[in-house]
Amino acid sequence: MPRINAPTVAEHRERQRRAILDGARALLAETGEAPSLAAVGERAGLARSSVYQYFGSREDLLAAVVADVFPDWASQIRVQMDAATTPGGRVWAYVRANVAFFAGSENAVAHALTVVVDPQVLRGPMEAFHDELQAPLIAALTDMGEPRVPEMAALIDSMVIQASRSLDHGGPPGHTSLPTTGAVQPESEALALLRRVLGGYLGLEDA
């Protein structure tokens, strides 16, 4: 019987499943390609036969990664927004969290998923991800007294994308998820640009 490295069999299985999903995410970020179950098992420290106990095919594994990553990303951004004490601070936390996402390895995961996963599988989770993030942004803008909330939310999203356009986020070689122009722009520089535009509107200190 395989060694159980957890207080219960259920916890052991959950830890192994978590290790498989994390391994798949890491390989997606590094290569931009759908990893084999053998490669994922090696990254997770498991035999390929063990991976097959959880996922019957590479497609099953990728679908599970999709179901895992979008709620995780949304939760991370919402936690940062919830920690802010003012409506303007919540909007700025949304901006900072999204710029950090574009600058990080998870953005490479997101791009890889759009390449290797069936669009039908991606559509629902992506729409839910967008809706979950728009709700607190819209609530914060409403609390600020913004008269044109949907338009301002869309404008803020556009500015975040534009400011992040030249970020070097550590994706696969030769790949960026957004078209780039000019020199690579570090995360802090992108945030400085956005703060110059949004600081006064959001009531940030030293804007």
- Each residue of 123-169: pLDDT tens digit? 999 999 999 999 999 999 999 999 999 999 999 999 999 888 766 54
State how many domains the chain has: 1
- Each residue of 158-188: pLDDT tens digit? 999 988 876 654 433 333 333 333 344 578 8
Provide the whole-model pTM. 0.80
Q: Is 151 among the domain residues?
A: yes
CATH code at position 127: 1.10.357
| Domain range for 165 | 65-202
Q: Is 23 among the domain residues?
A: no
CA distances from 142 to 88, 100, 138 (A): 10, 24, 6
Closest CA to 62 of 37, 97, 38: 37
Closest CA to 201 of 163, 171, 159: 159
Burial 83-110 (b: 16+ CB within 10 A, else e): ebeebbbbbbbbbbbbbbbbbbbbbbbb
Place of tokens 């409403």: 142
Q: Is 163 among the domain residues?
A: yes
- Each residue of 38-96: pLDDT tens digit? 999 999 999 999 999 999 999 999 999 999 999 999 999 999 999 999 999 999 999 99
Q: State the first-to-last Cα distance of the chain, in angstroms, to the nearest integer.
A: 62
